[in-house]
Amino acid sequence: MKIHEYQAKDLFKQYGINVPSSVLCERKEDIEECINNISPPCVIKAQIHSGARGKAGGVKIAKDYKSAVEYAQTILGSELTSSQAGTKKVNKILIEKAVEIDKEIYLSLTFDRTSECIALIVSPQGGMDIEETARNNPEKIYTLLIKDDFNPEPVMRNLGFNTEITNKICETAKKIYKLLVEKDILLAEINPLVITKNGDVTAVDAKINFDDNALFRHEDILSLKDEKEENPYELEAQKYGLNYIKLNGTIGCMVNGAGLAMATMDVIKLSGKSAANFLDVGGGAGSDKIEKAFKLLISDKDLEAVFINIFGGILRCDFLAEGIKNAIQTLKIKCPVIIRMEGTNKEQGIEILNNSGLRFTIVKDLNEASEVIKKL
């Protein structure tokens, strides 16, 4: 789960990490008062779940009151297209006291799955061009795999600051580490972490991704979820315990088991099409859950066809057929539905579909499915 910059900065504050003072603004009529509270120079920042907002025009530095109001009016309510997240509506802006930047560094803590360690990653070349640094000067990016006690000093010395500033950066890193561990965070990133002209170390940006599988033990974090930022289909799927991810293709697919789902997406791709989604209904789904899943699938406007590929093990093919039949009867779907069923109660499943009076293309295996999809 992702949260907004302003929420991440609240957490930073709770852990004693320096952040600039700021106010959140959600309504155009509040803009002037908010800016008065901060008093320019200030920075107007779009609050959307995306990085690279600066390059997309979502971060503007205002020297005076007038330009601050102008920027805020323009950014709040606008649609922002970033390289990372596509187009998103800006429903909130953060109005933040500008800091006088001497140096921008990159600092993040995340998981390194290969070494099974938490990794600290730092670079003296932080800021908006960190991707270029990673590409062109990878030697300027330093990684510390944290095995036992966390001692960031040696790696921080590479950044080339004096002892006082190096110590401040180390303190910041330790606080982020504590936050990461206590809140089950997968990625905590500060880019840029700024060294100000006065020699302070301040987090100018803040990005946090939480481990969804640990959210059950962090109600405070769960309450930070902004449903407007989530994909509506995925939100709906979460309610029913379905593993659903929206994709860009035109073939909707419903499968049981993640491995089979991936194999099915491969077959669709080999047939010259792309999957409109990933949907794993899981092993033990009953007809009710199948019906919900199918309705969700079909609500996608991009569909050219639906491909249902089920291996009936614990999930019985007759339950599946019943669920699909019920869903189609109430939905009146127009696109072709291709079904491949194998396994437990397959015959009964096919019988239910054949007797339903509805039209399906039942295929015997993946090769035949591929042929049908090719001809769409």
191 lines the binding site for Mn ion (CB under 5 A): yes
Select from 2-10, 107-115, 191-199, 316-324 the region that touches Mn ion (CB under 5 A): 191-199
318 lines the binding site for ligand GDP (CB under 6 A): no
Select from 51-59, 241-249, 262-270, 313-321 the region that touches ligand GDP (CB under 6 A): 51-59
Select from 48-56, 110-118, 133-141, 263-271 the region that touches ligand GDP (CB under 6 A): 48-56
- CA–CA separation, 93 vs 75, rounded Å? 8
Residue closer to ligand GDP by CB (options 4, 45) is 45
Identify the residue among 104, 229, 280, 291 touching ligand GDP (CB under 6 A).
Answer: 104
Contacts of 123 (CB under 8 A, 6+ apart): 105, 106, 130, 133, 140, 141, 142
Q: Which of 351, 353, 348 is nearest to 337 (CA)?
A: 353
Minimum Å gap between C-beta 44 and ligand GDP is 10
- CA–CA separation, 338 vs 207, rounded Å? 42
Residue closer to ligand GDP by CB (options 20, 257) is 20
240 as an active site residue: the answer is: no
Give DSSP secondary structure letters for 89-105.
E---EEEEE---EEEEE
Handedness of CA 202, 204, 205, 210 (dihedral sign): positive
Minimum Å gap between C-beta 61 and ligand GDP is 5
- CA–CA separation, 229 vs 15, rounded Å? 26
Q: Which of 26, 46, 25 is nearest to 36 (CA)?
A: 25
Q: Which two tokens stand for residue 181?
A: 């561990």
Catalytic residue among 5, 6, 104, 106: 106
Residue nearest to ligand GDP (CB): 54
Minimum Å gap between C-beta 229 and Mn ion is 17
Residue type, 224: L
Residue closer to ligand GDP by CB (options 123, 370) is 123
Identify the residue among 3, 93, 99, 201 touching ligand GDP (CB under 6 A).
Answer: 99
Asked if residue 271 lies in contact with residue 264, where contact means CB atoms within 8 angstroms, the answer is: no
Identify the residue among 9, 24, 109, 192 touching ligand GDP (CB under 6 A).
Answer: 192
Q: Dihedral through CA 44, CA 45, CA 46, CA 52, nearest 10?
A: 130
Q: What are phi and psi of 179, to 5 degrees?
A: -60, -45
- CA–CA separation, 178 vs 176, rounded Å? 5
Catalytic residue among 96, 189, 229, 322: 189
Cβ-based burial of 66 (10 A; exposed 0-12, middle 13-18, buried ≥19): exposed
Select from 198-206, 264-272, 314-322, 364-372 the region that touches Mn ion (CB under 5 A): 198-206
Number of residues that bind Mn ion (CB under 5 A): 2
Asked if residue 130 lies in contact with residue 191, where contact means CB atoms within 8 angstroms, the answer is: yes
Residue closer to ligand GDP by CB (options 168, 340) is 168
53 lines the binding site for ligand GDP (CB under 6 A): yes
- Region for 287 from its dihedrals, namely left if φ exceeds 0, alpha if ψ lies in -120 to 50, beta otherwise: alpha
Residue closer to ligand GDP by CB (options 21, 231) is 21
85 lines the binding site for ligand GDP (CB under 6 A): no
128 lines the binding site for ligand GDP (CB under 6 A): yes
189 as an active site residue: the answer is: yes
101 lines the binding site for ligand GDP (CB under 6 A): yes
Minimum Å gap between C-beta 229 and ligand GDP is 14
Catalytically active residues are: 106, 189
Binding site for ligand GDP (CB under 6 A): 20, 43, 45, 51-54, 59, 61, 98-99, 101, 104, 127-128, 191-192, 204-205
